[in-house]
Amino acid sequence: MTDTSMKIADKKSCENCPIQHSAVCSRCEPDELRRLEEIKYYRSYEAGQPVIWAGDHMEFVASVVSGIAALSQTLEDGRTQMVGLLLPSDFIGRPGRDSAPFDVTAVTDLTICCFRKKPFEALLVSTPHIGQRLLEMTLDELDSARDWMTILGRKTAREKIASLLAIIARRNAALNKEMPGNGMSFELPLTREAMSDYLGLTLETVSRQISALRKAGVIELDGKRRVVVPSYEALLSETGDDVDGGMIA
């Protein structure tokens, strides 16, 4: 926990916080926010650095402010599976539990806003808005974890890659407050290895399938990481998803 790469940032106000409208604190009244400010502090990590090891005692919960973190799990022989990809405003940790069930690692340079766990748990009971927002966020996480399970359990390597690209494209469009459309482009925030951990593949297979999608004209590459999507429809048709089912309403 006392990591040399970890830096404690200066106390910042919530006023200019980039995630104030979507994080756990987004529903808070001014006085609730004030109480949160009293128990918060920032931490920053460089890309690749560990944030928490599975089994560690957790003295805080946190929100991702900027950058990307990964939750992952490792089997006895070293095989690892990413089980969560945490973007800005996503929540780390779990009130009411002492030790972390999964490893948390900084995928890119990362800044998080930590809340001391004990007082945060107290706030959860005494003020309704935090708990309500956390419930909403957790239900969303659960839904996307379930979609992810279908990707892991039933999709081919090609479909897995197409699905991941579609997810990143969608999130990226949402970040820019646009609809995903033709000609859109984005930077891949993950290495080939991180993608393989996300999708339950090897990095070689990831590389091959990205090449295959490129050769098929589904995507174009600008360098290793920048992806251009000529036709969003074409990308979606590679994911194997049932376009209707579950999307009617």
Partner DNA sequence: GAGCCCACTTGATCCTGATCAATGTTTCGC
Partner DNA sequence: GCGAAACATTGATCAGGATCAAGTGGGCTC
Contact footprint for its own copies (CB under 8 A): 54-55, 57, 71, 73-77, 79-81, 83-84, 94-102, 124-125, 128, 131-132, 134-136, 138-139, 141-143, 145-150, 152-155, 199-200, 240-249
Residue 162 CA to residue 219 CA, distance in Å, equals 9
Residues 6+ away with beta carbon under 8 Å from 46: 5, 106, 109, 110
The conformation of residue 26, written as its DSSP 8-state character, comes to G
Residue 180 CA to residue 24 CA, distance in Å, equals 26
205 contributes a contact to DNA by CB under 7 A: yes
Interface positions, 126-155, toward DNA (CB under 7 A): none
Query: Quick one: tokens of 158?
Result: 């090609």
> Smallest distance from the beta carbon of 50 to its own copies, in angstroms?
13
Q: Which does 234 bind (CB under 5 to 8 A by kind): its own copies, DNA, none?
A: none
Interface positions, 151-170, toward DNA (CB under 7 A): 156-158
Residue 231 CA to residue 182 CA, distance in Å, equals 5
210 contributes a contact to DNA by CB under 7 A: yes
> Smallest distance from the beta carbon of 192 to its own copies, in angstroms?
16
Interface stretch with DNA, choices 1-9, 37-45, 62-70, 197-205 (CB under 7 A): 197-205
Residue 202 CA to residue 196 CA, distance in Å, equals 5
Residue pair 225/172 in contact by the 8 Å Cβ criterion: no
Query: How buried is residue 117: exposed, middle or buried, by Cβ count under 10 Å (0-12/13-18/19+)?
Result: buried
Q: Which is nearer to its own copies, 10 or 242 (CB)?
A: 242
> Smallest distance from the beta carbon of 193 to DNA, in angstroms?
6
Q: Which is nearest to 61 in space by CA: 138, 121, 103?
A: 121
Query: Quick one: tokens of 16?
Result: 């200019």
> Smallest distance from the beta carbon of 33 to its own copies, in angstroms?
20
Q: Which is nearer to DNA, 78 or 96 (CB)?
A: 78
> Smallest distance from the beta carbon of 236 to DNA, in angstroms?
18
| Binder among 138, 211, 216, 228 for DNA (CB under 7 A) | 211
Q: Which does 221 bind (CB under 5 to 8 A by kind): DNA, its own copies, none?
A: DNA
Interface positions, 223-242, toward DNA (CB under 7 A): 223-225
Residue pair 241/165 in contact by the 8 Å Cβ criterion: no
50 contributes a contact to DNA by CB under 7 A: no
Residue 120 CA to residue 127 CA, distance in Å, equals 10
